[in-house]
């Protein structure tokens, strides 16, 4: 039986390479409507489709965005939206040589039989949805599941997270979408960095085991790991050098060099922290493209600058470019604060 679906393999490899191109990374704006509502509420705006469209239009029409951004992850609503002048957002991205991506998971649900942990929904109907997203221009996908250090993690939760990611990756590749594999290890907890390293190693070992069992083409995936840091409530903060050392140790022990790109999430780090940590990881050569796929660490100052006012759009777009440029330099290991 065919181990690899031949039809899309070359395209998947090319898409992954384009996203993992030097000095570029991913802008994640795939907040669900509920989460986008929280972002809008932080600047006093109602969570309406009009406001979500206006915010995404501001981000996606930023002139020159493609110099530092190679991919944008969208929520389903955004994939089908257009600018107020009637240009599809997907077209805006293509004009900047940015690959359109789509969040395909359906969020988290309590995992019965576990220690208050959760599992990720969305495999039902995923093949037909993925084919539809491809038709509308998406070329990569994201599936975010979470693992909690303070809740264990239980063997059951880790296995479920890894298996779900591998099944999603197989369905994505079958439909021409490069899967971003994202088992987010939440920052919550007061544990030391060594404990995060231990958990991350366990999780990624299992993820790669099931990716192999599901015949995933590793050259056609991207990873979205959490950086290895102490728990957010741990008594001591770690320097970018310590975080880089532990994170790279984990990656080198667990991630084959066939994987083209490692696109970190920011996970609640401040904008500058996320940039400094990425820069520290790029101080010596890595077998992969080590870059960013930030949501909050690229959007926080944009929201502040915008405040929902049309007269602030230009300033807000400039602040997006400032963060994107800083992370682009960090990808190249050339950022200084």
Residues 28 to 47 in contact with ligand 13P, rule: CB under 6 A:
28
Q: Which of 130, 266, 279, 282 binds ligand 13P (CB under 6 A)?
A: 266
Annotated catalytic, 182? yes
Query: CA 335 to CA 252: how far, in whole Å?
Result: 23
Query: Interface with ligand 13P includes 265 (CB under 6 A)?
Result: yes
Q: Between residues 54 and 297, which has the closer beta carbon with respect to ligand 13P?
A: 297
Active-site position among 117, 182, 206, 271: 182
Q: Which of 136, 199, 197, 209 is nearest to 169 (CA)?
A: 209
Query: Interface with ligand 13P includes 101 (CB under 6 A)?
Result: no
**Min. distance of Cβ 293 from ligand 13P in angstroms?**
6
Stretch of residues binding ligand 13P (CB under 6 A), selected from 87-95, 196-204, 241-249, 288-296: 288-296
Q: Between residues 163 and 264, which has the closer beta carbon with respect to ligand 13P?
A: 264
In whole angstroms, how far apart are CA 331 and each of 20, 273, 277, 319?
10, 14, 10, 18
**Min. distance of Cβ 240 from ligand 13P in angstroms?**
17
Contacts for 90 with CB less than 8 Å, ≥ 6 apart: 79, 100, 136, 137, 138
**Min. distance of Cβ 225 from ligand 13P in angstroms?**
11
Q: Between residues 8 and 65, which has the closer beta carbon with respect to ligand 13P?
A: 65
Using an 8 Å Cβ cutoff, are 50 and 42 in contact?
no
Stretch of residues binding ligand 13P (CB under 6 A), selected from 77-85, 229-237, 291-299, 308-316: 291-299
Q: Which of 176, 183, 230, 267 binds ligand 13P (CB under 6 A)?
A: 267
Q: Residue for token digits 């200084």?
A: 336
In whole angstroms, how far apart are CA 325 and each of 70, 234, 242, 264?
12, 31, 24, 16
Query: Interface with ligand 13P includes 295 (CB under 6 A)?
Result: yes
Query: Interface with ligand 13P includes 294 (CB under 6 A)?
Result: yes
> What does 240-308 look like in DSSP terms, one character per residue?
HHHHHHHHHHHHHHH--TT--EEEE--TT--HHHHHHHHHHHTSS--SSEEEEEESHHHHHHHHHHHTT
In whole angstroms, how far apart are CA 248 and each of 174, 197, 225, 278?
30, 10, 11, 11
Query: CA 216 to CA 224: how far, in whole Å?
Result: 16
The interface mask with ligand 13P, positions 149-188, x = CB under 6 A, is: ---------------------------------x-x----
Question: Which residues are tagged catalytic?
Answer: 182, 224
Which residue ranges make up the site for ligand 13P (CB under 6 A)?
Answer: 28, 144, 182, 184, 265-267, 294-297
């Amino acid at each position: 039986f065919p181990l690899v679906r031949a039809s899309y393999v070359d395209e998947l490899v090319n898409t992954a390479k384009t996203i993992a191109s030097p000095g570029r990374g991913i802008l994640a704006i795939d907040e669900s409507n509920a989460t986008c509502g929280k972002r809008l509420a932080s600047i006093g705006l109602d969570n309406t489709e009009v406001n979500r469209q206006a915010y995404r239009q501001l981000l996606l029409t930023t002139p020159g965005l493609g110099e530092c951004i190679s991919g944008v992850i969208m929520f389903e609503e955004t994939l089908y939206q257009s600018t107020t002048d009637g240009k599809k957002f997907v077209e805006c991205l293509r004009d900047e040589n940015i690959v359109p991506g789509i969040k395909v998971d359906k969020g988290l649900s309590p995992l019965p039989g576990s220690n208050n942990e959760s599992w990720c929904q969305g495999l039902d109907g995923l093949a037909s949805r993925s084919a539809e997203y491809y038709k509308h221009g998406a070329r990569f996908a994201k599936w975010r599941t979470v693992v909690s250090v303070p809740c264990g993690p239980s063997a059951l939760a880790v296995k479920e997270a890894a298996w779900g990611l591998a099944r999603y990756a197989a369905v994505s590749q079958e439909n021409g979408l490069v899967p971003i594999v994202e088992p987010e290890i939440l920052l919550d907890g007061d544990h030391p960095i060594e404990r995060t390293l231990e958990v991350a190693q366990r999780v990624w070992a299992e993820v790669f085991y099931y990716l192999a069992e599901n015949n995933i083409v590793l050259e056609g995936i991207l990873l979205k790991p959490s950086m290895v840091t102490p728990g957010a409530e741990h008594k001591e903060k770690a320097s970018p050098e310590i975080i880089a050392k532990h994170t790279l140790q984990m990656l080198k022990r667990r991630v084959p060099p066939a994987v083209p790109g490692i696109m970190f999430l920011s996970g609640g780090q401040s904008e500058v922290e996320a940039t400094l940590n990425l820069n520290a990881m790029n101080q010596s050569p890595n077998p992969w493209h080590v870059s960013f796929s930030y949501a909050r660490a690229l959007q926080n100052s944009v929201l502040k600058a915008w405040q929902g006012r049309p007269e602030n759009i230009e300033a807000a777009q400039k602040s997006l470019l400032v963060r994107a440029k800083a992370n682009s330099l960090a990808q190249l290991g050339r950022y200084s604060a």
